[in-house]
Structure 1
Amino acid sequence: MTRLNLVLLVAVIASALFLVRTQYQSRRLYAELDKAEGDARKLLVEKERLEFEKRAQATPLRVEKLAKEQLQMRTAGPAITQYVKLKDARAAQ
């Protein structure tokens, strides 16, 4: 009977240690998951901010202003437009 009690005691202790280890791993994984979700939220906010910035930088008025100021471009009009005439393929033969 003593031998059986000893075996059962060892089994209970092993089971308890396994349960403690499993709970510890579960808590650690939950903490990692929570951190990853927080990082994902931060990345989503950063993405939205960058998309807003991109839209703000690409407005037609801003592009036109940069073209005039930095590239010394001007608006095309009939006075500065040069037309290229296409020769007719039949007339060239």
Structure 2
Amino acid sequence: MLGKLNLLLLIAAIASGIVLVRSAYDARRLYTAVDRARNEANRLELESQRLEAERHAQATNLRVEQVAIDRLKMRPITPAVSQDVDDKRANAASPVTGAQP
């Protein structure tokens, strides 16, 4: 009877050791996964900040003006390129406002 009890306790101790080793392995694996996820989150945060700074740099007035001149071939307005519109003719031709003498 004492031999069976010793055998049962030995099996319980071995099973307990296996469970302990397995849980330590799982804990290390999960800690590594959390560490990787934190590193990825930090990388994504830095990328987000970089993209935000790049977007801000692209949206400056000087940059918009440069793109308008270079790509869209726009030019600054001057009296030489502007045209005056006669309000009387515009009002008479407009059906919405109606013609007033």
**Which category of TM-score, normalised to the shorter sequence, fits these structures?**
0.7 to 0.9
Q: What are the superposed Cα offsets for residues 27-69 of structure 1, whole Å, 9 maximum, x if unpaired?
A: 1100110111011101101110110011001111111111112
TM-score (normalised: structure 1): 0.83
State the Cα RMSD in Å. Answer: 2.3
Normalized per residue, the structure richer in helix is 1
TM-score (normalised: structure 2): 0.77
Give the unaligned 5+ runs of structure 1. none
Partner of 1:88: 96
Letter in 2 for 1:65: Q
Distance 2:71 2:27 in 1: 59
Given the superposition, is the C-alpha separation of residues 29 and 81 from structure 1 closer, same or farther in structure 2, using an over 3 Å criterion?
farther
Partner of 1:28: 29
Identity %: 44
Letter in 2 for 1:26: A
Distance 2:84 2:34 in 1: 62
Give the unaligned 5+ runs of structure 2. none
Higher Cα Rg: structure 1 or 2? 2
Q: How many pairs align?
A: 91
